[in-house]
Structure 1
Amino acid sequence: MAVLYDMYSATLYGVVLQIVKIDETAEDVLQDAFVKIWNSFENYDTTKGRLFTWMINICRNQAIDAIRSKQHRVNNKTEDIAGNAHSGISSDEFKPDHIGVRDMVNDLNPEQKQVIDLMYFEGLTQSEIAEAYNIPLGTVKTRARSAVKVLSRFFKSRA
């Protein structure tokens, strides 16, 4: 386990941090993920993908579970209120929810939605998505392109 941790913890921490956005939460999620990896190592199947891909999927799922948890949402809202009370909201801060982008993305087909969520809201590259989800890179690019076409038609109809 120590060898796996030494080899992959920094990279996995970066993936988790991109999702949860808070250092302390990312550290907790990474620890939980490594416990889960350790406890379910016998479930790893070499025929289904690389070890790193399996580990990154466990970490990503743990991070998503963490941000969906009620406690995480409460903590984020409390921090947002406290931070905004002192500093004000930055005028150059982009909030996709303000213009309804999340609602538009929810109307995409599930495959397009997954790619857009991972690219634009989680910050993954198309290559990272392809590797992590065992989807051909060309398929990821096609799904992203078709989703952008659907979204652009929506924006044009609102203009």
Structure 2
Amino acid sequence: MELVKKYSEDELVVLLKGQDRQAFSYLYDNYAAALNGLIFRMVEDKELAEDILQEAFVKIWNNFAQYDSTKGRLFTWMLNLTRNLTIDTLRSKGYKKQRKISSDENSVSNIQDTNFGADKFDTMGLQKQLANLKPEQRTIIDLAYFKGYTQDEISKNTGIPLGTVKTRMRAAITELRKILK
């Protein structure tokens, strides 16, 4: 029986900056489910979520030299990269065209698998932890990280001033950091 090496975040970062494939495999094994959960919540399509996840990990591998640990944790960087990639995909002309074509096809064949859900990928228990936030903070985090809205879009959709959205998001992230430590 082979023992699986466990890395600290600092060790993992050093190895990944050196393009260590074993460390990358560890990264994928330990973070793919959480990132896939984020993607699936945004796109609500299992196959598209898997495609975006694969593209996200390619982007993580190819751009790892850009990661700066002084600006935030590794998971936060990967989460933001994945979220932005998902938003870019949703906004792309190709995606919009494909979506329109799919909606015109026979809708009977579009039944979704109910055994597949974003909750399946909530390996860090973030949904439970969100319950510890104030309702106004929870709403902002949900819209930003699980539905893919930008701060500007949150402001426009909720009628909350942009500065208030930013303040609430900062406070919510600070609170989540305390909870998750």
Structure 2 length as normaliser, TM-score? 0.49
Shift in alpha-carbon separation, 1:117–1:77, aligned structure 2, 3 A: farther
Alpha-carbon distance in structure 1 between the residues aligned to 2:77 and 2:85:
13
Q: Percent identity?
A: 49
Aligned twin of 1:49: 72
Aligned twin of 1:122: 147
Contact residue 20 and residue 66 of structure 1 kept, 8 A: no
Question: What amino acid maps onto 2:52 in structure 1?
Answer: V
Alpha-carbon distance in structure 1 between the residues aligned to 2:53 and 2:97:
21
Aligned 1:1-159 pairs, distance under 5 A: 1-83=24-106, 115=140, 118=143, 122=147, 135-137=170-172
Shift in alpha-carbon separation, 1:65–1:41, aligned structure 2, 3 A: same
Contact residue 42 and residue 147 of structure 2 kept, 8 A: yes
Structure 2: 5+ residue runs without aligned partners? 1-23, 110-139, 150-168, 176-181
Residues paired across the two proteins, number: 104
Question: What amino acid maps onto 2:95 in structure 1?
Answer: H
Question: What amino acid maps onto 1:49 in structure 2?
Answer: G
Aligned twin of 2:133: none
Secondary structure of the equivalent of 1:45?
A: coil
State the Cα RMSD in Å: 3.3
Residue 38 of structure 1 and its aligned partner are, at CA, apart by: 0.8
Residue 58 of structure 1 and its aligned partner are, at CA, apart by: 0.6
Aligned twin of 1:97: none
Structure 1: 5+ residue runs without aligned partners? 88-114, 125-133, 141-159
Residue 34 of structure 1 and its aligned partner are, at CA, apart by: 0.5
Secondary structure of the equivalent of 2:88?
A: helix
Residue 123 of structure 1 and its aligned partner are, at CA, apart by: 7.7
Alpha-carbon distance in structure 2 between the residues aligned to 1:120 and 1:10:
15
Alpha-carbon distance in structure 1 between the residues aligned to 2:69 and 2:145:
30
Alpha-carbon distance in structure 2 between the residues aligned to 1:138 and 1:42:
25
Structure 1 length as normaliser, TM-score? 0.55
Residue 136 of structure 1 and its aligned partner are, at CA, apart by: 2.0
Alpha-carbon distance in structure 2 between the residues aligned to 1:79 and 1:66:
16
Question: Residues 16-46 of structure 1: CA distance to partner in whole angstroms, max 9, x if unpaired?
Answer: 1111221111111111111111111111111
Secondary structure of the equivalent of 2:47?
A: helix
Secondary structure of the equivalent of 2:102?
A: helix
Question: What amino acid maps onto 1:11 in structure 2?
Answer: A
Question: Residues 59-90 of structure 1: CA distance to partner in whole angstroms, max 9, x if unpaired?
Answer: 10111111111111111112222255x59xxx
Q: Which has the higher contact order (CA 8 A, sep 6+)?
A: 2
